[in-house]
Amino acid sequence: MKKFRIYWLMLGVIFIPNTFMAQTEPEDVATIDNKFQNYFYESLKQKSIENYDKALEALQQCKELEPNNAVVYFELGKNYLSQKKYKDAYDNFEKVTQMDPKNRWAWVGMYDVCYATHDYNQAIVVVEKLVEFKEDYKEDLVSLYMNTQQFDKALELINELNDRVGKSEKRELYKADILKDAKYQTAEKNNLLEQIKKNPKEESNYVALIYLYSQSNQEEKALEIAKKLEAAIPTSDWAQVSLFKFHLNNNDGDNAVKAMNIVLPSKKIDPKIKHRILNEFLIFTKNNPKYEPDLDKAISYFDDDKEVKVAKEIGKFYYLKANWDKAIKYFEMHLKNATEDIETQLLLLQAYTEKLQFDILSKKADELTQLFPTQPEFYYYAGLANNQLTNYKKAAEFLETGLDFVIDNLDLEINFNIQLGESYNGLGDMKKKEKYFTKANELIKKKKK
């Protein structure tokens, strides 16, 4: 908040009475009160070595000699402030402003006290006065309004400063906080509309207004602004964000794809917005499968996304819809560069199982047991696939090895025993078949308890 700090020692000399500095005639020098001067310079000396008590003693002597000298009260204020005697400091600075209302540095001293004591309401009173001396203090005033939750005043001042001196990161953060509350959004919408009229080539105003309209479910107004943005700035990527939604709602896939292919590679657009667009296009593609190649191209824009694995998420989308072919396609796409993703590997193996693709399942699961030799699920799928392929001996080997790695997973242990029963049934070993099926039944009963 606080921008203006005062180097009191350096400024001290500035406030020495003019009678000490301006008169040079011998007869004038003779009239100088040497006693006052000696005490005053003694106070400056003591303050410079941080001996504030001694400095205050000297200043009290000055005060007795010249009780109406504003400089004395100013120096008293500085020394009290250094001692953190805030009330005394404030009272002395205030005394200066009463004697000389145009003394800016006394007002600064009062602000310093308010800032140090977190008295932000009183600080506002002081800074509003300081603004008369220097408009830069309006930046401080914004922060003070925020600290005292006077958001309407803060928003009005932020917009004034944005218009006059340009935006700043700090003010934009403040503004974003304010606009989380819907009651301030109407005023901001009106402000942005006015800004667009004044400066139709400023893209950020359109973007902010589109966002506000979207947040308040005013999609038609958001679209109207997006069209205005496109007309004013045809190269704007942001215009395409709303136009994409408009085309999608009108079932105009071709134009939606054109807008999407401008937005997704754009470095200007927030990643969250890009993910939203992709999700909306995914749902559209589900009902319009001819656009699937465009979906695949869209996914490629997210290859370097470290936060969201897009191909994996699309694979999950189709997995939950039991669309196994699509789920397999996107899981495989994801796993090309993420072989260590065990969760996706297991989802892929289950999708192969649902599709009865046991040759592929057998080969893939075998490879995974070598890459992850202690992961029991991979042995299970290898055993299941080989049972289906009537490779019973190989199946039993996978299953017996994998069973040793099963820990605290009752469902998986049940499935292992069922598959081992199938393996030994196929091998004609009725004793072991009965052993594993019996074990599976015992575990099922245990699970039901």
CB distance 382 to 366 below 8 Å: yes
Lowest-pLDDT range of 338-347, 400-409, 439-448: 439-448
Residue-wise pLDDT for 218-272, tens only, equals 877 887 888 888 889 888 888 888 788 888 888 999 999 999 999 999 888 878 8
What per-residue string of b and e applies to 194-207 under the rule 16 or more CB within 10 Å gives b?
ebbeeeeeebebbb
Give ∠ CA 224-228-231 in degrees, rounded to 5: 140
| Amino acid, res. 439 | K
Rg (CA), the chain: 38
pLDDT classification of 181: cutoffs 50, 70, 90: confident
List own/partner pairs for 169-177 with CB under 8 A and 24 or more apart.
Answer: 171/142, 174/142, 174/143, 174/146, 177/146
pLDDT classification of 1: cutoffs 50, 70, 90: low
Residue with the two structure tokens 């040793």: 404
| 291 alpha carbon, distance to own chain's centre | 34
Domain ranges of the chain: 1-134, 356-449
| CATH fold label, 1-134 | 1.25.40
List own/partner pairs for 50-56 with CB under 8 A and 24 or more apart.
Answer: 50/82, 52/79, 52/82, 52/83, 55/79, 56/80
Q: Is the pTM of this model over 0.85?
A: no
CA-closest candidate to residue 73, choices 60, 54, 87, 86 = 60
- 53 vs 58: CA distance, rounded Å: 9
CB distance 412 to 376 below 8 Å: yes
Average pLDDT of span 422-432 = 95
Q: How much is the pLDDT for 2?
A: 52
| CATH fold label, 356-449 | 1.25.40
Is pLDDT of 23 > 60? no
Q: How much is the pLDDT for 132?
A: 93
Structure tokens belonging to residue 403: 């069973």
Q: How much is the pLDDT for 29?
A: 37
Structure tokens belonging to residue 333: 């796409």
Residue-wise pLDDT for 63-114, tens only, equals 999 999 999 999 999 999 999 999 999 999 999 999 999 999 999 999 999 9
Which residues lie below 8 Å from residue 151, measured CB to CB, with a gap of 6+?
Answer: 145, 178, 181, 184
Per DSSP, the three-state class of 158 is helix
Taking each helix axis as running N to C, give the angle between helix 342-354 and helix 376-388, from 0 to 180 degrees, rounded to the nearest 10: 20
Is pLDDT of 18 > 70? no
Lowest-pLDDT range of 7-21, 42-56, 308-322: 7-21
Which is more confidently placed, 125 or 187?
125
Average pLDDT of span 124-145 = 95
Rounded to the nearest 5 percent, the helix, strand and coil shares of the chain are 75, 0, 25
Q: How much is the pLDDT for 448?
A: 78
Q: How much is the pLDDT for 268?
A: 82
pLDDT classification of 33: cutoffs 50, 70, 90: low
List own/partner pairs for 340-349 with CB under 8 A and 24 or more apart.
Answer: 341/309, 341/312, 342/372, 342/375, 344/312, 344/315, 345/378, 346/377, 347/315, 347/316, 347/319, 348/315, 349/377, 349/378, 349/381
Structure tokens belonging to residue 138: 């309006």
Lowest-pLDDT range of 218-232, 385-399, 407-421: 218-232
Which residues lie below 8 Å from residue 93, measured CB to CB, with a gap of 6+?
Answer: 73, 74, 77, 106, 107, 109, 110, 113
- One fold for both 1-134 and 356-449? yes
Segment of 118-132, 153-167, 255-269 carrying the highest mean pLDDT: 118-132
